Amino acid sequence: MAGDLAAAPGWTRELLAELDGYSASLANQGRWGSGDQLGTLNLLTPERRVAAAALVQSGTCVALGRRIGGGPHPDDPLPPLQLMKASGEAAPARGGSHASDWLGLAPHGFAVTHIDAFSHQFFDAAMYNGQPAGLVTTSRGAAAGSVEALAAGIVGRGVLLDLPAAQHRPWLEPGEQVHPADLDAAASALGTEILPGDILLIRVGRDARAARHGRVDPVTAGSAGLAADCLPWLRHHDIALLGSDSASDQMTPGGAPHPMPVHAGALVLLGLPLLDNAWLEDLAAACAAEGRREFLAVVCPLRVRRATGSAVNPVAVL
């Protein structure tokens, strides 16, 4: 971004220069063709899916999606709206009847487990593969980069990098930065290897901390997560999907604006979809019990028309 152009809130000259450097050296624009809408999910080849299926040993299934509903809470000020269209309160004593409900939710934020599509994030007024940000409009939604392109499902080798476990502590504190050396150290300590095409889930222990100290608003209290210098690491390892129990980016305590360079770098430059707010406590316990951190991962976004993301309930099969 040229120095004489107005920058987005929170984006310092230094951070802009860092992302500009990554754009020149790491970007996947054109790697899979000018019209590509899958980005790094192209790395999930049939062969890699078959190999991932072979990881299933115990057959244990673990849900990675957060419970939807309840609240409001500091990290969920506008909880999903659930309305009962019909209930069992007037069910006849004989014969059939039914109950049904209506659910409205905003997938983005810090409460719902969701996939970020490429249309969710822009850098220099563009999204993945050079598509202009103006293709996402209030009247028509996402004419490019929609989550619809991911609706065939995301299936591959999942790996849990449990950073607190690797560091022998219960959680990372809000605002802590994770750097490439931390990721390498965690993989070594946990006895796992990061392979091209992996679905990488990074646990910072957000929910373990919340169970002890209560839930906080990541915007004001901060959030542990990856620093911008992890982007070359993600590109070097050819990660297919990046997930976290937070929102992947480190957020400094003190309030907005938060520039979210990992979101911008992953979604726009690398074409790397993000899984935000995954529920990783049960998976961490299951992996520790079985003594391994690799599993079959399955993520199925909803086929929502022209949408910037989708709520999901991923599943790990050990």
CATH number of the domain within which 39 lies: 3.50.30.50
Amino acid of residue 237: H
What does the pLDDT look like over 282-306, one tens digit per residue?
A: 999 999 999 999 999 999 999 999 9
Instruction: With H, G, I as helix, E, B as strand and everything else as coil, classify residue 299.
Output: strand
State the Cα–Cα distance between residues 74 and 217, nearest whole angstrom: 5
The band of 174, judged by pLDDT with boundaries at 50, 70 and 90, is very high
| Token output for 204 | 């910072």
Is 303 a member of any domain? yes
Residue 243 reports pLDDT greater than 60: yes
Region 167-172 average pLDDT: 98
Distance of CA 19 to the CA centre of its chain: 20
Among 230, 237, 236, 262, smallest CA distance to 247 is for 262
The whole-number pLDDT of residue 5 equals 74
Residue 3 reports pLDDT greater than 90: no
Is 284 a member of any domain? yes
Distance of CA 107 to the CA centre of its chain: 11
253-262 exposure pattern, b = at least 16 Cβ within 10 A, e = fewer:
eeeeebbbbb
Are the C-beta atoms of 122 and 268 separated by less than 8 Å? yes
Angle, CA 237 vertex, CA 62 and CA 169 arms, to 5°: 55
Is 3 a member of any domain? no
Residue 318 reports pLDDT greater than 60: yes
The band of 4, judged by pLDDT with boundaries at 50, 70 and 90, is low
Region 229-258 average pLDDT: 96
Is 5 a member of any domain? no
Region 160-182 average pLDDT: 98
| Token output for 152 | 């065939």
State the Cα–Cα distance between residues 73 and 209, nearest whole angstrom: 15
Domain range holding 109? 13-77+101-317
The C-alpha R_g of the chain, in whole angstroms, comes to 20
Single pTM value for the model: 0.96
What does the pLDDT look like over 13-53, one tens digit per residue?
A: 999 999 999 999 999 999 999 999 999 999 999 999 999 99
The band of 71, judged by pLDDT with boundaries at 50, 70 and 90, is confident
Is 94 a member of any domain? no
The whole-number pLDDT of residue 108 equals 96
The whole-number pLDDT of residue 69 equals 85
Is 1 a member of any domain? no
Q: Is the peptide bond before 72 cis (omega within 30 degrees of 0)?
A: yes
**H-helix segments, the chain:** 13-25, 46-53, 163-166, 180-190, 206-213, 218-221, 231-236, 261-263, 281-290
What does the pLDDT look like over 90-142, one tens digit per residue?
A: 899 999 999 999 999 999 999 999 999 999 999 999 999 999 999 999 999 99
Domain count, the chain: 1
The whole-number pLDDT of residue 2 equals 47
Residue 70 reports pLDDT greater than 90: no
Residues 6+ positions from 70 with CB-CB distance below 8 Å: 76, 79
pLDDT, averaged across the chain: 96
How many helices, marked H, and strands, marked E, lie in the chain?
9, 15
Residue 89 reports pLDDT greater than 50: yes
The whole-number pLDDT of residue 1 equals 40
Distance of CA 153 to the CA centre of its chain: 15
Top pLDDT among 128 and 2 is at 128
State the Cα–Cα distance between residues 296 and 13, nearest whole angstrom: 41
